[in-house]
């Protein structure tokens, strides 16, 4: 997904009814009298489908395009950074206080729950004062000698950004393959370390997604190769230890540039899978892991509007698919009869339950499901053909499978969290039905979940649909309209924004904020149809849902206009761009992180990373119907001369998902057209990309800046 991460020209009808008697005017916040940067106007004309558009700030993409204005682009971004720093100068003591208190809650010297794989226990541990981690293992048992496989703290020394991905141990336990990204564009170099000698081998595999999959011979590594320009995952290649990646053999080339591809291995170790998947269709190829030099076979040819994924048992394949099943079902087939005419129902389709995935074991199957907006786990006993759900007991929570790499085991691990429950790892014995807590995130300085309340409510939006909202706040917070409320959402790609705990968020809750998540359409919280109703020609439902959730929270006195704030990132940044155009007076402040706000221009440019992958999400603007609809909501296209809320916009110069020039152009145009005294601030991280800083503490500085922005607007200085 590119924009993990619109504006109307037509004024839509509003929900009837008052926003409540507690409505307050936006506060008169004192801002320094500093002239904001003014971007140079250089008209660029776009003509598509006979529609002529003049883009005055198109030149800001020159750094990305390596054009003649590259130096001017950097100068402008640095001016914006200086302006943001100056405007928020008064909040620097608060930023430091927030950073220190958030950092103080993090247990610096910590260790992940070890997991068993092929005779070794693997875990990550962190040391006090260090930004990264050490990847370690112990042979045979947890009382064995520690072997440090990677010391990422040492590897990252002197680097502004350093990310390690795709840690894969060979079947003979001797080699470790791992990916490294030092630019933050999600383009990794795969290295291979000989764990017997401790040496990093000369093998260097460039332009990858960072993950590799070992064949059974522990010498052959399959990996995904990226196009260096578009960053599309285009090819699956095969690398043999000790050879140059120049001679790596291409085993698959994806011809459909709207699909993502990847390579994986079945949990039982018997098969290697190549998955090709778009929004609307998928295709799997498979190969016995013991035969790396044979040809991959197609499991089932791709079909329009059919998605499927495959898991391998000892005697059959399980297929999770939406074929004739909108909310997906699980089917089975023989190991040598994989086409759909051989599929038979194992778990039938249910209209009220979305199947999100399966975890296979020798004697059991764990199915991740979603019903009425809540995640669930159901255990299936493959021997006696019985099943039962696990029970969790909170009103709003999130439960997901944890690390489960062993196939021949009766033990299943899952992670559990809620808005008040720190992340917890449980181990469940599927045979004895006994549960044990292995670890719960420790919040230093004292955290008592009984001091906080969580709620789940439903907002009736303008077309009559009920949209879930999850909320958390500290006990004693008044619900009379006077409390500030931070409303978050995403609403794209079918990605569900489930409630989870954040120790950093306590800094807002302890200062009187209510935090809320609007589970709007475009996600998949309420089933597959929830996603279908928030994409392509129905995308505007995402925006109106969020606005109507905001109004519901005001009408029910959780907050008021003068205290309502919104935040979203990536595709959620598109949401922010849309709602400030559609209902600018509803929000006192908005944070748009790495926002996808120039929808039409980006989706017309196939040289921009990942654009073609996303035609099935947004539409292909080369088709006039899609172009017209996109243009009707694209935030950049629809900026008007009117008052906008206070805005903090963040981006990264090396962002591979949403290029820096989208938010930069958006801010430049907003400044030129907006009325009123509300501020528009742009902060560009000149070292990082879409995900921000790589260190485990550095991101807290960005969090502190965002919180300080909200608190300043609330008149809270401490």
> Is 244 designated active site?
no
Phi, psi for residue 522 in degrees, rounded to 5: 110, -30
Whether the CB-CB separation of 578 and 637 falls below 8 Å is answered with no
User: How many CB atoms neighbour CB 393 within 10 A?
Assistant: 5
Closest CA to 2 of 659, 566, 652, 623: 659
Burial of 304 from C-beta contacts in 10 A (0-12 / 13-18 / 19+): exposed
> Is 13 designated active site?
no
**Residue burial 77-88, b: 16+ Cβ < 10 Å; e: rest:** beebbebbeebb
Give 551-570 as a 3 state SS string: HHHHHCCCCCHHHEEEEEEC
The DSSP secondary structure of 314-376, one letter per residue, reads SS-EEEEE-TT-TT-EEEEEBTTB-SGGG-EEEE--BTTBEEEEEEE-SSEEEEEEEETTEEE
Q: How far apart are CA 203 and CA 512, in angstroms?
A: 54
The CA R_g of the chain, rounded to the nearest whole Å, is: 26
Residue holding tokens 């009117």? 642
Q: How far apart are CA 296 and CA 211, in angstroms?
A: 19
Residue holding tokens 């140059």? 244
Residue holding tokens 């205290």? 563
Whether the CB-CB separation of 588 and 645 falls below 8 Å is answered with yes
The DSSP secondary structure of 386-420, one letter per residue, reads EEEE-----SS-EEEE-----SS-SEEEEEEE-SS
Whether the CB-CB separation of 183 and 173 falls below 8 Å is answered with no
Phi, psi for residue 568 in degrees, rounded to 5: -160, 155
Closest CA to 78 of 682, 654, 670: 682
Q: How far apart are CA 330 and CA 349, in angstroms?
A: 8
> Is 282 designated active site?
no
Whether the CB-CB separation of 656 and 688 falls below 8 Å is answered with no
The DSSP secondary structure of 630-654, one letter per residue, reads HHHH-TGGG--SSB--EEEEEEETT
Catalytic residue among 533, 548, 598, 655: 655
At 20, list the tokens. Answer: 């409540």
Q: How far apart are CA 535 and CA 545, in angstroms?
A: 13
Closest CA to 310 of 295, 324, 300: 300
Catalytic residue among 266, 309, 368, 570: 570
Catalytic residue among 380, 486, 519, 690: 690
Which residues are annotated as catalytic?
Answer: 570, 655, 690
């Amino acid at each position: 997904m590119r924009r993990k991460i619109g504006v109307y020209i037509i004024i839509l009808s509003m929900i009837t009814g008052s926003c409540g008697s507690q409505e307050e005017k936006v506060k008169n916040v004192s801002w320094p009298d500093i002239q904001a940067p003014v971007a140079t106007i250089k008209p660029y004309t776009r003509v598509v489908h006979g529609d002529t558009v003049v883009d005055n700030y198109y030149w800001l993409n020159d750094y990305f395009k390596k054009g003649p204005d590259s130096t001017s682009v950097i100068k402008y971004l640095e001016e914006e950074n200086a302006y943001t720093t100056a405007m928020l100068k008064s909040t620097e003591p608060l930023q430091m206080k927030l950073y220190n208190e958030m950092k103080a809650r993090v247990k610096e010297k910590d260790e992940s729950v070890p997991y068993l794989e092929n005779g070794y226990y693997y875990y990550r541990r962190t040391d006090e004062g260090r930004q990264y981690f050490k990847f370690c293992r112990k042979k045979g048992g947890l009382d064995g000698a520690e072997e440090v496989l990677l010391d990422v703290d040492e590897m990252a020394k002197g680097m502004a950004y350093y990310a390690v991905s795709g840690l894969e141990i060979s079947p003979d336990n001797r080699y470790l393959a791992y990916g490294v990204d030092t630019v933050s564009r999600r383009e990794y170099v795969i290295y291979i370390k000989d764990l017997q000698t401790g040496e990093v081998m000369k093998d260097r595999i460039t332009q990858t997604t960072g993950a590799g999959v070992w064949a059974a011979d522990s010498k052959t590594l399959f990996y995904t190769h990226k196009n260096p320009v578009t960053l599309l995952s285009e090819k699956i290649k095969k690398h043999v230890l000790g050879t140059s990646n120049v001679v790596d053999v291409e085993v698959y080339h994806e011809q459909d540039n709207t699909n993502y591809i990847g390579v994986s291995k079945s949990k039982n170790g018997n098969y290697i899978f190549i998955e090709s998947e778009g929004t609307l269709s998928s295709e799997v190829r498979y190969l016995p892991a013991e035969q790396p030099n044979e040809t991959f076979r197609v499991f089932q040819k791709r079909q329009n509007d059919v998605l499927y994924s495959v898991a391998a048992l000892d005697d059959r394949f399980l297929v999770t698919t939406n074929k004739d099943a909108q909310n997906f079902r699980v089917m089975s087939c023989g190991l040598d009869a994989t086409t759909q005419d051989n599929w038979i129902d194992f778990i039938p389709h249910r209209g009220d339950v979305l199947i999100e995935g399966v975890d296979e074991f020798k004697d059991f199957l764990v199915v991740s499901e979603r019903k009425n907006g809540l995640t669930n786990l159901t255990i299936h006993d493959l021997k006696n053909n019985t099943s039962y759900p696990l029970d969790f007991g909170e009103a709003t929570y999130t439960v997901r499978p944890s690390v489960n790499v062993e196939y021949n085991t009766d033990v299943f691990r899952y992670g559990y969290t809620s808005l008040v429950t720190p992340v917890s790892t449980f181990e469940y014995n599927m045979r004895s039905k006994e549960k044990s807590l292995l670890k719960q995130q420790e919040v230093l300085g004292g955290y008592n979940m009984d001091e906080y309340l969580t709620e789940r409510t439903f907002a009736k939006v303008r077309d009559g649909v009920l949209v879930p909202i999850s909320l958390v706040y500290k006990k004693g917070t008044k619900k009379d309209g006077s409390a500030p409320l931070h409303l978050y959402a995403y609403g794209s790609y079918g990605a569900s924004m489930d409630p989870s705990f954040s120790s950093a968020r306590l800094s807002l809750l302890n200062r009187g904020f209510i935090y809320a998540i609007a589970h709007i359409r475009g996600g998949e919280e309420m089933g597959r149809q929830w996603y279908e109703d928030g994409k392509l020609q129905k995308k505007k439902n995402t925006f109106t849902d969020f606005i109507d959730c905001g109004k519901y929270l005001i009408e029910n006195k959780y907050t008021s206009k003068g205290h309502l704030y919104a935040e979203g990132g990536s595709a959620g940044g598109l949401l922010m761009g849309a709602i400030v155009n559609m209902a600018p007076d509803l929000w006192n402040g908005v944070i748009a992180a790495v926002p996808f706000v120039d929808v039409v221009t980006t989706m017309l440019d196939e040289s921009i990373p990942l654009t073609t992958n996303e035609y099935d999400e947004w539409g292909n603007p080369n088709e006039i119907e899609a172009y017209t609809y996109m243009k009707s909501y694209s935030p950049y296209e629809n900026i008007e001369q009117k008052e906008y809320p206070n805005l903090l916009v963040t981006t990264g110069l090396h962002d591979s998902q949403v290029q820096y020039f989208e938010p930069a152009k958006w801010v430049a145009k907003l400044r030129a057209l907006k009325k009123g005294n509300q501020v528009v601030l742009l902060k560009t991280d000149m070292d990082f990309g879409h995900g921000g800083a790589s260190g485990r503490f550095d991101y807290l500085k960005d969090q502190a800046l965002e919180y300080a922005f909200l608190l300043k607007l609330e008149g809270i200085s401490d």
